[in-house]
Structures are given as structure tokens and as C-alpha cells.
């Protein structure tokens, strides 16, 4: 009961401190992702220039993501706003069809509520752009502190404990980098496949749907489903009837199924060691705490929590439930093949 109460209190505390804790957590994930750039630049430049180069690379990536989000959201909003009358007719037809089977989704008057919900979702997307800037500033000041924090840990703890903490941090960073790298590759494949499919089917706004699916692929499971809905609705507006929209829905679904069930597992392997149920649970919890931003970093944060749980006997059972390593002993879970070292027993 104490564990449950503590979990709920921490969850509510994180939820209420969203403006502070979310950017800090996201900045930690970003620092772990871009850290290899700094040692590589230090081979050719002094530390000050290597820090500057790392920051410039980071800002280039963040600017690209912010631009992609802004462009895709604006174009989708414009497309559906220009066809609001057709959307209302579609909603009315769907309502009549559901009513004929004895159900109800509301009258045409409820269409404005649906539009309001969509506008709120778009507003959340623009808020993400604002927080990207805040996260970028935190990363700029946080990058130079990584080495200093490591030295402080060495001074404040004994050698064995210090090495254990450093190894745990390195393992978390490796898992975060591998997850983001594989997700970026699968997102690019999803976007390219979506672009080709849209052009083959003659669906307008092909580049927009490709960008949308590229971005949404960073949200596991949920993003795969959400990326199918807007192009299918637009297909109803563009082509009319149900034949071509059904083809669009089937084609986009096939792309998502193939990439999610075959391409991504092949690239990811067992690096994250999270069961599918653990991923769904992580999405549910972090989405409740931090909304869309929580969903974006849910998997890296949960993977980090699993690594930390493995270091404390009282909570190792939590790691055992979340990890996808049934064939390994508890000691094997401490294996850090990615970093070339082994955590001390």
C-alpha cells in the first residue's frame, strides 16, 4: 500500500509540475542522445568549440523537428478548414448510418464539439514547439555539466558505488540513443512509404501525410493508429464514396503493420528489453502525467526506470515484470554489452 500511495503521489507531483519537470526529463533524454557528438568533436577541436558544435547540431535537429511539426499541423488544419462543409456532411451521413443500426453518435450539432476537440489537439502540437525551445536552452546549459557531475559523484561516493552509478547512467544513455536511432530510422521508412503510397493512389497533400506519419511514429502504438485517420478522412473528402478511402485506409494500415511488427523489431532487437505490455503501460502512465510530451519520452524514461530498479533488490521484481528477458538470470540483466563493461555484483 505504501508503494502504491508513493507512486500516486509522485505521479500527481510530476503532473502538477509539468512546466518544470517535463522539460528537465526531456532535456536529459536529449543530452543522452547527442552526447556522442561531443567526444567526437573533441578529437579535432578544443572543449569550448566542441560544446558549441554539439549545441549547433542539436539546434539544427530541433529546428528541423519544430519546422516539420509547424508545417504539417498548419497544412492539415488548412485542408480540413477549407472542407468543413464536406466534413459536416460526412459526420451527418455517419450519424444517420449509426442511427439506422440503433446507435447514436449525436446530431450534426455535435460536429462543432468535434472541431473544438481537434483545435485543442492542434494547440497542444504548437505548445510542443514552444517547449522544444525551452528544452534546447536546458540542454545548452546541461551539456557542459555532465563531466562535472561525474567528477562530483566520484568525490562524494566510494569507488565501487561511484562506478555502479556511472555504469547505470551509461547503460541508460546507450538505451536512449539506440531507441531514438531505431525510431528515427523506422519513422523515416514510414514517412517514405507513406509518400510513395500517397503518390501512387493520387492522394493530395502527399508530403504532409508523409511528415505527419514520420512525426507520429515517435509515439509508439498510439501514433501508428493516429497517423492513419487524417489521410483516410481526407480521402473521403477528395474522392467521395467509400472505395478509395477504404484503399487508403488499408494501404496506410499495411505500412504501419509491416514496419511496426517486422522492421522495427528487427532493428531494435532486445536492446530496450521492454515487453509490449510494458510499452502500453508506460504510454498510459506518462501520457496521464505529461500528455503528448509524456508519450514522446515514455519508452526512454521507462527503460531508465528498469535499469535503476535492477540496482535495488527491493524493486528488482518491477524490472523483472517489465523486462522482456525471461530466459536470463537476474545477474544477466546487469550485462552492459552496449558499453563494454559489467556492473559490479
Q: What is the pLDDT of residue 344?
A: 37
CB count in 10 Å sphere of residue 243: 10
- Cα angle 1-334-283, degrees, rounded to a multiple of 5: 50
Write the DSSP string, 100-127. HTT-----GGGHHHHHHHHHHHHHHHHH
C-alpha grid cell, residue 306: 528498469
CA-based R_g, the chain, Å: 23
Are 231 and 251 contacting, i.e. CB atoms less than 8 angstroms apart?
no
Q: What is the pLDDT of residue 192?
A: 94
Average pLDDT per 10 consecutive residues for the chain, totaling 345 residues: 83 90 89 82 81 82 82 82 76 73 61 58 65 81 77 69 75 85 90 94 92 87 83 87 89 90 70 75 88 84 86 79 62 42 38
Write the DSSP string, 263-321. IHHHHHTTSS-B-HHHHHHHHHHHHHHHHHHHHHTHHHHHHHHHHHHTT-GGGHHHHHH
Q: What is the pLDDT of residue 239?
A: 87
Tell me the pTM.
Answer: 0.74
Q: What is the pLDDT of residue 313?
A: 77
Amino acid at each position: 500500500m505504501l508503494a502504491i500511495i508513493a507512486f500516486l503521489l509522485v505521479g500527481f507531483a510530476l503532473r502538477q509540475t509539468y512546466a518544470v519537470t517535463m522539460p528537465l526529463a526531456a532535456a536529459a533524454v536529449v543530452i543522452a542522445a547527442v552526447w556522442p557528438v561531443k567526444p567526437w568533436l573533441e578529437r579535432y577541436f578544443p572543449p569550448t568549440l566542441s560544446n558549441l558544435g554539439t549545441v549547433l547540431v542539436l539546434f539544427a535537429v530541433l529546428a528541423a523537428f519544430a519546422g516539420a511539426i509547424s508545417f504539417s499541423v498548419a497544412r492539415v488544419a488548412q485542408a480540413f478548414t477549407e472542407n468543413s462543409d464536406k466534413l459536416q456532411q460526412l459526420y451527418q451521413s455517419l450519424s444517420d448510418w449509426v442511427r439506422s443500426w440503433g446507435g447514436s453518435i449525436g446530431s450534426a450539432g455535435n460536429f462543432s464539439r468535434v472541431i473544438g476537440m481537434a483545435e485543442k489537439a492542434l494547440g497542444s502540437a504548437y505548445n510542443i514547439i514552444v517547449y522544444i525551445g525551452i528544452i534546447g536552452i536546458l540542454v545548452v546549459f546541461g551539456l557542459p555539466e555532465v563531466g562535472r557531475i561525474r567528477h562530483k559523484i566520484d568525490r562524494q561516493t566510494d569507488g565501487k558505488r561511484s562506478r555502479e552509478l556511472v555504469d547505470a547512467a551509461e547503460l541508460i544513455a546507450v538505451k536512449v540513443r539506440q531507441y531514438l536511432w531505431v525510431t528515427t530510422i523506422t519513422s523515416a521508412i514510414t514517412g517514405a512509404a507513406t509518400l510513395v503510397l500517397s503518390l501512387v493512389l493520387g492522394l493530395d497533400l502527399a508530403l504532409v501525410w508523409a511528415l505527419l506519419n514520420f512525426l507520429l511514429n515517435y509515439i509508439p502504438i498510439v501514433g501508428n493508429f493516429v497517423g492513419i485517420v487524417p489521410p483516410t478522412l481526407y480521402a473521403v473528402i477528395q474522392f467521395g464514396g467509400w472505395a478509395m478511402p477504404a484503399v487508403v485506409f488499408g494501404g496506410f494500415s499495411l505500412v504501419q503493420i509491416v514496419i511496426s511488427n517486422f522492421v522495427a523489431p528487427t532493428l531494435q532487437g532486445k536492446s530496450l528489453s521492454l515487453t509490449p505490455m510494458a510499452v502500453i503501460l508506460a504510454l498510459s502512465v506518462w501520457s496521464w502525467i505529461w500528455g503528448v510530451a509524456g508519450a514522446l519520452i515514455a519508452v526512454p524514461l521507462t527503460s531508465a526506470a528498469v535499469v535503476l530498479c535492477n540496482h535495488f533488490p527491493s524493486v528488482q521484481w518491477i524490472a523483472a515484470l517489465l523486462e522482456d528477458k525471461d530466459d536470463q538470470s537476474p545477474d544477466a540483466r546487469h550485462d552492459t554489452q552496449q558499453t563494454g563493461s559489467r556492473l559490479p555484483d
